Structure formats: C-alpha cells, structure tokens
A and B are shown apart, each in its own frame.
Chain A
Amino acid sequence: MKNNEFYSNPGKSNPSGSNPQCGRLAALILVLIVLCAHCARPESDRGQVVAYVSEDQVFSEPILREFETETGIKVNAVFDTEETKSTGVLNRLVAEKNNPQADVFWANEPIRAEILKQQGISTPYVSLSAAGIPDIFKDPQGHWTGFSARTRVLVVHQKVEIPPDSIQAFTDPHWRGQGVIANPLFGTTTTALAALFTSWGGERAKAFLQELKQNEVRLSSSNGESADLVAAGEFAFSLVDSDDAVSRMRRGSPIRMVLPDQSEDQIGCLVLPNAVVLIKGGPNPENGKRLIDYLLSKETERRLALSDAAQIPLHAGVEPPPEMPPIENIKTMQVDYAEVAGRMQEIMPFLKEWVGY
C-alpha cells in the first residue's frame, strides 16, 4: 500500500516540495565527491618522502618509522612482495622513469642500484654518514652507497653430519636431489649467479647451471621458502641470504649456517650490502637526502644487526649480529658490482630459458 501512495502522489508526503530521498542521494553523492577529491589530492611535497623498498618490509619498516619519529618527515613507501623480491619496485622505478614518483630506492643489494645508475634513473649523492663505509661498497660516482650487508650462505639441516662447505656441493653427485635454490630469475639468487658468471666466465658458469639440473637441484619460489624447506628436512641444504638463515635459527628451526668457499683456494662468499639511491627528479629531493643520511648512519646499521635481519655492519666499530662474524673475518668473493650488474642483464635470457620461461 505504501507503494501505491508513492504512485498516486509522489509529492504528497512532503508538502514543502523538498524530497528527503533526493536530499539524501545528493548528500551521499556530495560526500563521495569530497572523499574522492581528498583521495585524488597528492600529499603536500613538504614533510614527506617517497621510498621504494626491496628490503623485507618486516625489517625495513621499523627503521622508516623511526626516521619519521626523529625527523617528523612522513615516509610513504612501496614494498616488494616475496615473489618479486628486488625486481618489482626496481621495475616500477624503470616504468616511472619519465614520471618519477619515488625519492629514494632502498635496495636489498647493490646490483639493482647499479642498474638504475646505468639507466639514468639515479642521481649522485654522497652522504656524510657514509664516511666510515669502505669504498668497495660505494659507487665511485656516488649513485649508490652500501650499508648493512648480508652474505650468501649455505643453510644446512642439522641432521646432516658433515655439512657441505662450498656451492660446488650442488653439483656433487653425493648431494644429488638434496639441494634446493630459489628461482634465479628473482632476487639475490640472480645476483649470485651473475657474480659467478663474472668470476668464472660464461662457459664455466653455464656448465655449472647445467650440472645443477643434472644433479636434480630443485627450484623454490624464494630464499625464504628454500630455508623453510631445509628446516623441514625436505632438502639437506640450500644457498640463501644470511638473514633468511638467521631468522629461522632464532625461531628454533633445526638448521645451521655455513659460510661457503672460505678456504684459500676457494672463491669466497658473496657479500651483498643494502644500497640506497637518490632518484633523479624525485618529488622531495631534500627529504630524500635526509632519509639517505639516516639509513647510512651507524645507528641504522646497529638496529639492522640486532634485528632478525642480522645484517653485518659496514661501519667500523658497530657490533655484528651474534650469529655472524665481522665483515673483516669473512673471505668475500671479489666482484665489481657494476660489472655484475651488466652481466646480470646479459644473462637474463639464458636464465629464463634455463628456468623454462
């Protein structure tokens, strides 16, 4: 019956002529327009900095929050997911080259930072905070600066009595079907392979990869998953980043960590510092520089060393995490990061084919 009343005289219910339904609808649309306008309003350039971050969010976010607290500058960040680690935001930066949205790129290794330099996306900035960091971990032109390093380590299940001590174990028939590595198209595994291509040369590195296949080395989606698979006893060992190993060890997983290739005649382990980059044409360059200064400080290195990231400080005098030796006690693989970056782009088609893409 109510409907019929509407039908017979729509305006009767409100003699004044104003229609409450119309009013409500108009109010709703107005509120939506205001909210949309608010959403479509870019934040003020002052008091903010835009950071693209490929370091794990769980480790990097507390550092960025601390920066916000200390400086009052809000950090708007984009983080990589595990699956596209260190390639997702890098490629977003490349896609935004002509329309930069980021001020700072916090890379979890220097190779992607070097790629940004080679593509003209970064701009030099030499921070005073980087004074104590060895030159080997800095770009000579100041496009990127390294800090808080990880190493590539072997993570081995505790049930293995004599653990492997070299990456050559992946091709050793003794370990057939017992090794796992992350997909080499992503993350630091790509970097590690590019470093091998640089150190060994293409032929030997390609042969090594073919032997990996023959020795039934399995691929996982990420270093974290590789460490989990070893912790679960599904594989005997894997090559992962030190933070992947330490975080699981601290959770009580039955694994141990081995620094590979430490003998005199071996190549050493690859050290991967974080790298921070100032983006050319970013919207907040001054705040970007302040964030870079903060990230390169001893205090940030100390915090990253104490956290589950367990990263090795590059400043002298900052305590390393308990599970890791000081950087000077590690036999490191001697590589030129710029050369590795160039090599990485060259070998991508081969790696895609190797993986089966």
Chain B
Amino acid sequence: MTVRLAVLWIAVVILAVAGLVPLLTMFLQSVVVDGQFNLSFYAQIVTSSRQWSLLGNSLILASLTTLGTTLVGLPLGILLGKSDLPLRRTFIFLFTIPLLIPPYVTAVSWFDVLGRNGLLSKSYPSLAATTSSWLFGLPGCVLVLSSTFLPVVMILTITFLKTVNPHLEEAARLSSNWFGVLKGVTVPLARSGIFLASLLVFLLSLGEFGVPMFLRYNVFPVEAFTQFSAFFDYGAAAAAAVPLALITCLVLLLEANFLREKTYQLRPASGAALQIRLGRLRNVVFLTVSLFCIVLVLLPLSALLVQSASQAAYTEAIWRAGDSLLRSLLYAAMGASLLVLLGFATGYLIHSRALGICRSVDTLTVVLFAMPSTVIGIGLISLWNQPSTTFIYATPAIILLGYIAQYTALSSRITVSTLSQIPVSMEEAAEISGAGWLRQVALIIAPLAKRGLAGAWLVCYIFCLRDTGITMMVYPPGRDTLPVRIFSLMANGPPDLIAALCIILILCTLLPLSLLAVVIRLKRQES
C-alpha cells in the first residue's frame, strides 16, 4: 500500500470512528431492546400524533426559514456582489455576524428587543406582550434562524455570481435592462449555487435545536435532546432522530443528483465582472439595505449591549466564565486544526477519487454535518462511556471527536473546491520527477491551497467556537465551553450577566476575523 493510500485510509477510519460508529451504535440501541430485535421505539413514533406534529413543526420551520433566507439573501447577494452600492464590504461583514455566533445568542438578543422587558417595551409597553408571544413560537424561530442563515445564501450568491461568464451578460445587456439580464442569464447560470445555499439552510434549520428550545417551539431535535437529557432513553432518542436522518438523506440525494459536480467547480469566470449601476436608485437602495441591516443585525446586538452595559456585569462575567472562555478558544483552535488535517485528507480523497468509497465518504461527512448535534452527542456518549475508554470519555478528547464528526464536511468540501482549482498536471509532474506523495502535498498542493486551507481553518474555528449542541451533551466535568456555560447560567442568571457573556462570546468570534482582515489588507498594501 502506498503512503497516499495509507494516509487516506487512516483519515477514513478516523472519520468512521468519530462519526459513523456512534451513529450505528445509536441505531442499534433503537432496534435492540433487552437483547432482542424490537421496533417498538419506531412503532411509538409512527403511531404517536405528537411525533408527527413535531416532524411537521420541523419541516415547517426549515421550509419557512429557507424561503425567507432565499427571498432576501438572493437579492441581497446580487446587490452586494454585483452592484455599485456603497459600503458593500461593510454590509457583507455586518450581515455575516449572526452566522458567526451561536444561534441562541441571536435569540437572546432578540429577546432583549422584543421580550416582555425588552427595548421595545420601554417605548411601547402595550406592544411588548404581543411581540413577546410572537417571538416565543414559530415566527420568532423563523426570524432568528433566518437572520442566522441569511449570510449562507448571501455569500454563496456572491460567490456563484463570480462564476457567471460576463460576456453572456454583456450580450444580454444589448437587448435588455439589468432586471431582464439577471432574470434571464445571471440568476439561471448561478442557480446551482443558490439551490445549494437553500439546501444548506434547510438542513441547518432542520437540525437546529438551541433556538427552538430557547423560544419554546417543539421540533424533532429538541425531542431527541429531551428524550436523552430528561429520560436518558437512548433508544427513544435514536429513534426520534431517524426521521430527520431520512429527510437529510433525501435532500442529499437531491443534491448528489443535481448539484454535486457543479458546485465543486468554483472557478471565477474569465474577464472583468460586469457591475450593475444603480444610478438614481443608489441612494434609495442604500437606505433600504442600511435600514434592513440595522433592524436585522444591529438592533439585537445593541439590545445585548444595552442590557450588559455595566462594569459589574462584565467583571462577573469574566469571573464566572474566564476559564470557559479560554477553553473555548483552545478547543476551537485544536478542533479547527484537526478538522483541516482530516478535511484535507477526505477532500483530497473525494477530489482525486483515490479510493472506491470516495462518494460514500463525501456523503457521510455531509450527513453528519446535517445530523442534529444532539444525535451525534448521544452516539458519542453511548459508544465511549466505558471503563476502558475513560481516557476519551472523561477528557476533552470527546469534544474534539464530536467536532470531527459534525464539521469535517466543512473542511472537506472547501478542500475539494480548492483542489479543483489546482491543475492536476502539477501533481503529475512532481510524481514523474520522483517526488513522493507526502512531498507533493507539502511542497506543491498545500502551498498552492494555503488560502483555501486557511479559509477552511477559519470556518471550522468559528463553527467549533459556536458549537453548543455536541459540547453541552459530552463535556467532561469542569471542562465546559463558553456557549455551554451561558446556556446553563440562563437558569435564573441575571439578564445583564447573560448579555455580557454573549457580548464576550461575539467579540471572541469576531476578533480573529478582524485581525485576519487587517493582515490581509496590510499584505495587499505591501504588494
């Protein structure tokens, strides 16, 4: 076996141990009761009206969120990616903030706006009860999840618009205005990316549990969490996850048939991209986007700031959660590094099709990414909670395994996309001249892919840092992270303390991004 195959197999085995085996363990527990094959958990789901209602709730929430983000994210992506709107980069940054922080933090910030004692209640006390009841339920969940996942559609739209051949748009412009060009040429050519974004939002909303739990909207992932945390019923929890897994697989099948090859080949089109000149509408559009940004992003963040505006709150926050904060940063950095290494291997495997199971590996990573975190957490506990594996179960290693299970798809897919832009001939030439595979990776592929890998690290870092679901379920004693601590402090914790902790978490997420932006700008200025 060559070194290349050995490394790829090791990566596959790690992924299987971290993600596949826990899932299979859970599935086994759902069909074996007292040593006998038994489908009673599934029978309960099929015959229980509550379960169908929960499934309906999950689908409605995911569908409405997808609809909302697509309807808003697509035009926003076009405006920010293709028009001459002022402050486009600033808008992109601001609209992306909700994606970078745990969704329930966004929910808390909206609570500080629309809640019974929120900002709105100060000016319009009579409205507060209505807005509060509106927030706690489906509308509130859709609002929070839409603002969280809007950047997914926006960023992918911007990215895929860059792949559209500008010559086609130029030709279309000869006979049509920009609206016609967008409708007839640009959007149809970028539709695979827009469709991919919608699928991603659908899957992410379907698996989300922190926001529905906080806003008291019963969905399937909350059910799985409850079955486990309240009753420790592994079998029922696993069975409760199966309908979601099936829906996820169906969606992925759709993606595999219609999109996969198209979304991997993310090459910018040759030639300068055409820009939409807004002309007289520029100011109106600018004001509209600004207003939208203020309401959707700045208002809830301001509410958090107002709520936390006391030195005592921040002092107590640091006293209570300083250690959790440091752990969060450490685990996120380690998780991201491991994910980039593993994702590079699986991404390389998928790109090069070096093993026959490359498609299965790709599907596995995506299924795990879309799987509710509660399910993965339960699977990990049931697998590793053994005396012989205490060195995993009782240490943060179990959190890192959770990150690998859930987020490898991110680094893997970014790697595939990055590798697809590196000519195969370079690797082949190095091979012909006698360079071993590790040498090829270290000297040719990694340096050429370093931007993509750095991006992958950053994305993974953010997702690990904001992770709540897995960490909350598996963290060893005394090793909680900041998002988990905020969640548990919410029980009777003073609102100003919770708000201060949320602000600290947001800053910790944004700080490395801001530093990176500064470094990139300085490098550009140098060159």
Contacts and interface: CB of A to CB of B under 8 A. Distances in A.
Interface of A: 3, 6-7, 10, 19, 21-22, 25, 28-29, 32, 35-36, 39-42, 48, 50-52, 56-59, 61, 74-85, 87-88, 91-92, 94-96, 98-99, 101-102, 185-186, 220-222, 224-225, 228, 231-234, 243-244, 247, 251, 308, 356-357
A317 B271 CA distance: 84
Given A36-B334, A52-B477, A58 B229 contact: no
Contacts of A88: 229-230
B137 interface: no
A39 B395 contact: yes
Contact of A7 (B341, B429, B442, B480): B429
B337 interface: yes
B491 A99 contact: no
A5 B397 CA distance: 41
12 contacts: A3-B426, A10-B433, A21-B442, A36-B338, A58-B492, A76-B476, A91-B232, A99-B386, A99-B390, A102-B477, A222-B491, A225-B216
Given A36-B334, A83-B229, A96-B385, A42 B491 contact: no
Nearest to A35: B334
Interface string B31-52: 0000000000000000000100
B444 A82 contact: no
A99 B388 CA distance: 9
Contact of A57 (B330, B476, B491): B491
Given A101-B390, A222-B491, A228-B116, 13 more contacts: A10-B443, A21-B442, A29-B341, A58-B492, A80-B488, A81-B229, A81-B472, A82-B492, A91-B228, A91-B230, A92-B232, A99-B390, A234-B116
B491 A56 contact: yes
B230 A76 contact: no
Interface string B476-498: 11111000010111111110010
Given A84-B226, A308-B492, A6 B478 contact: no
B488 A32 contact: no
A56 B438 CA distance: 52
Interface string B174-211: 00000000000000000000000000000000000000
Contacts of B128: 232
B394 interface: yes
A217 to B, nearest CB: 16
Contacts of A21: 442-443, 446-447
Contacts of B341: 29, 32
A137 B390 CA distance: 35
Contact of B492 (A3, A56, A221, A232): A56
A206 B478 CA distance: 41
B396 interface: yes
A40 B391 contact: yes
B312 interface: no
Contacts of B447: 6, 21
A275 to B, nearest CB: 18
B397 A36 contact: yes
B477 A42 contact: no
Contacts of A7: 426, 429-430, 444
Contacts of B129: 232-234
A232 to B, nearest CB: 4
B50 A357 contact: yes
Contacts of A51: 477
B477 A77 contact: yes
Of B133, B447, B478, B480, which is in contact with the most chain A CB atoms at under 10 Å from its CB?
A: B478
A247 B492 contact: yes
Contacts of B491: 56-58, 80-82, 85, 222, 224
Contacts of B229: 81, 83-84, 87-88, 91
Given A10-B435, A32-B334, A91-B232, A81 B488 contact: yes
Contacts of A32: 334, 337-338, 341
Nearest to A59: B492
B116 A76 contact: no
A202 B526 CA distance: 80
Nearest to B333: A35
B283 to A, nearest CB: 41
Nearest to A232: B116
Of A58, A79, A243, which is in contact with the most chain B CB atoms at under 10 Å from its CB?
A: A58
Of A19, A99, A243, which is in contact with the most chain B CB atoms at under 10 Å from its CB?
A: A99
B450 to A, nearest CB: 9
A99 B400 CA distance: 21
A98 B439 contact: no
Contact of A244 (B381, B479, B487, B492): B492
A184 B497 CA distance: 28
A2 B337 CA distance: 27
A221 B225 CA distance: 14
Contacts of A185: 230
A28 B385 CA distance: 30
